[in-house]
Structure 1
Amino acid sequence: MTLAPYVAILGRGQGRARSLTMPEAQAAMEVILSGRAEPEAIGALLMLLRMKGETAEEIAGLTRAAREALPPLQGQGSVECVAIDWPSYAAGRTRGQPWFLAAAKLVSQAGFPVLLHGWNSHQMAAASPRAALGDLGIAQAAWGEAPAILARDRIVYVPLETMQPRLMDLLRLRDVLGLRSCINTVLRMLNPAGAPVSLQGVFHPSYRELQRDAALLLGQPALRVLKGGGGEFEHHPAKDITLHGLSDGAPWEGSTGAPVSGHRRLSETGATLAEVWHGARADPFAEAIVTSTAALALAATGLADAAPLARDLWHRRHQANAA
């Protein structure tokens, strides 16, 4: 099997080309991940999809094949299940501190196991998510180690390259092609542990509906998609932003609210994540980023009064295993 039939569908020319169906997109990704596809055909397929604009059916089919190619998560059935899937795949070259990690930590302390997974092109920078994990006591683990750490800590970060190296290779084609591809969207949709709640950040607002509609096709129960800081699921607390997603498996739309006033950028907090988390430096705006983001995540699980709970969790953040 080759990618030629799928490239032909997308590239036949004006009036003849069409989008892939969900089964066709799934079959194309299966060929890619099998290692049988020619690199030229992979590049052609990804760029044709980009030029045309991906459909929900295409994203859903690609995502389904990517999920099925993941190694089995050994021991998953014997540990507390993952409640929240929290992907982190933004380039984030202009963003500041990764405050969303502190929000994820608070959510885990509320009793909701969180699976963070990702890769960031700025990962060597001081403000990268991976560099900040240790400041919050979040373990970084290979895919096979994740269940044990989730059972212990209720939160873990899994690097993409340890979870599925072939997907990492596809993501890195951006360096070859000079453009992002639908792989960035697929990775946000991946939800490798099948968590009932998925939180996804986007940089471009048009992707909110695309990812919602693809998740609907995949049968995702609950989803929140936010145009967040640097493309991550991270709320600007002075902005009332429209959320798109799913609730009980049906399309849902809401707003974030704006708990603080002001016009500061997320990158203008002035303090580091470690300083604020450990109380070495007070920064009310940074705290509002964390607690408002955590509140959105908690609300996605169906909890009422998520905002006061998030603030209470912040004040009790150093109490181990806060309930």
Structure 2
Amino acid sequence: MTFSHHLQTSRPEHPFAETIRILGKGKKGSRSLTQDEAYRAMKMILAEEVLPEQLGAFLMLMRVKEETPDELAGFVLAARESCSLADDSMLVDLDWATYAGKRRHLPWFLLSALLLSGNGIAVFMHGSPGPSASRLYTHNMLTYLGLEVATSAEQAKRQLSGQQFSYLSLEKICPKLHEIIELRPILGLRSPVHTLVKLLNPFNAPYSIQGIFHPSYRSVHQQAAALVQQPHAAALKGEGGETERNPDMQCLVQSVHNGELIDETWPALFTHRHVRPENLEPGQLALVWQGKSQDEFAEASVLGTAAVALKLLGKADSQEQAQSVAMDFWLKRDKMRFG
């Protein structure tokens, strides 16, 4: 075969190869993607214009270096274009991502969300059941509170209009992103999709709250929220990685309000550490809500998490006022229709 003949028959380079080369060209030759490059890469992935080998390489190269705020913003903007559920009417006040699952404690944050929704704040949760049999995922916990998981965007909209609360699985919002998340047991590691889904905000709510596990991601979420022009958002290191304030520890909340980045430390609510329960009994969620079971850690988790959300939502001017409003909601919860 002549050299000229070889040139004529060699395969042209795939358009996505350049993205992989940018990320993987050695210690000196590689760099992070710009926001626009990240946007175009995620658009190609969601349009299924990349090969499986390329997707795997991309996900793991991103995992090794970790996402920059610009990359995360680009991914989120692309995903929002493909996965938006928003229409002309604003159905959601607060977008609440729930993907981590709980392992050490019950998901008390669910009661926080119900406190808000029972007081006129429309809360939309989205998440995924997850691969771990040892974790309790929101998808499977709502039934213990007498709440039905939505099975379609239309049902979610009806629930939001009727009860100011709905949970819809990522699989029903954006099947491709769900498919990528499901690769975790195969790849052995989380991927940038686990990060971007927390900022997805399918209904384009003006307020968004996310829990993270690794503290370094907190500021990445904060800066990315500003880059995608999310009006109001907050990120905190939540118990187990969910959006739940651990009352035994001080909590740094990093938020954005109309482009302004704000860091705020909330104090621990106890001077002592609580012993984690030996067994997690989901039925306790309803019992605590109904006042049939007393649990100071659970109650403090619920009120502390609700207080952070209330401050974000502008329903309180100070931490003390937010805590007071949360307590008022809690004492009046017997009039709500949940549980």
Rounded to whole Å, the distance in 2 between the matches of 1:266 and 1:105 is 24
Matching of residue 199 in structure 1 with residue 215 in structure 2:
no
Matched positions, count: 318
Q: Per-residue deviation at 1:110?
A: 2.0
Structure 2 counterpart of 1:287: 299
Q: Tell whether the 8 Å contact from 1:96 to 1:268 is kept in structure 2 after alignment.
A: no
Report the Cα offset of residue 249 of structure 1: 2.4
Q: 2:136 matched to 1:106? A: no
Post-superposition Cα deviations, 1:122-145, rounded to whole Å, max 9, x if no partner, equal 676684322321233433112232
State the TM-score, normalized to the length of structure 2. 0.88
- 2:63·2:192 contact (CA, 8 Å) conserved in 1? yes
Deviations 1:170-201 (A, max 9, x none): 11111111111111110111111111111100
Which residue number corresponds to residue 96 of structure 1?
105
> Aligned equivalents of 1:269 and 1:239: distance in 2?
22
- 1:241-275 deviations in whole A, cap 9, x for unaligned? 11112123210100122233320156569772122
Alignment of 1:74-153 (within 5 A): 76-78=87-89, 80-92=90-102, 94-121=103-130, 127-141=136-150, 142-153=152-163
2:264 pairs, out of 249, 254, 260, with 254
Question: What amino acid is the match of 2:138?
Answer: P
CA distance in structure 2 between the aligned counterparts of 1:319 and 1:269, rounded to whole angstroms:
30
Between 106-115 and 133-142, the greater mean CA deviation after superposition: 133-142
Mapped to 1, the partners of 2:18 and 2:247 lie a distance apart of 47
Work out whether 1:302 is the aligned partner of 2:314. yes
Moved more, 283-292 or 200-209: 283-292
Question: d(CA) in 1 for partners of 2:279 and 2:120?
Answer: 29
Normalised by the size of structure 1, how large is the TM-score?
0.92
Q: Is the 8 A contact 1:269 1:286 kept in 2?
A: no
Residues 168/283 of structure 1: CA separation in 2 closer, same or farther (3 Å cut): same
Preserved contact between residue 229 and residue 266 of structure 1 (Cα < 8 Å): no
Q: Cα gap change, 1:270/1:28 in structure 2, threshold over 3 Å: closer, same or farther?
A: closer
- Structure 1 spans left out of the alignment, 5+ residues: none
Larger Rg: 2
Partner residue in 2 for 1:185: 195
Q: 3-state SS of the aligned residue for 1:97? A: coil
Show the counterpart of 2:7: none
CA distance in 1, matches of 2:276, 2:123: 23
Deviations 1:54-90 (A, max 9, x none): 11111110111111111544xx434x53110100011
Q: Find the residue that maps to 1:261 and give its secondary structure.
A: coil
**Contact (CA 8 Å) 2:131, 2:182: kept in 1 or not?**
no
Partner amino acid, structure 1, of 2:31: R
Counterpart of 1:235 (choices 245, 257, 263) is 245
277-286 vs 154-163, which deviates more?
277-286
CA contact (8 A) 1:123 1:130 kept: no
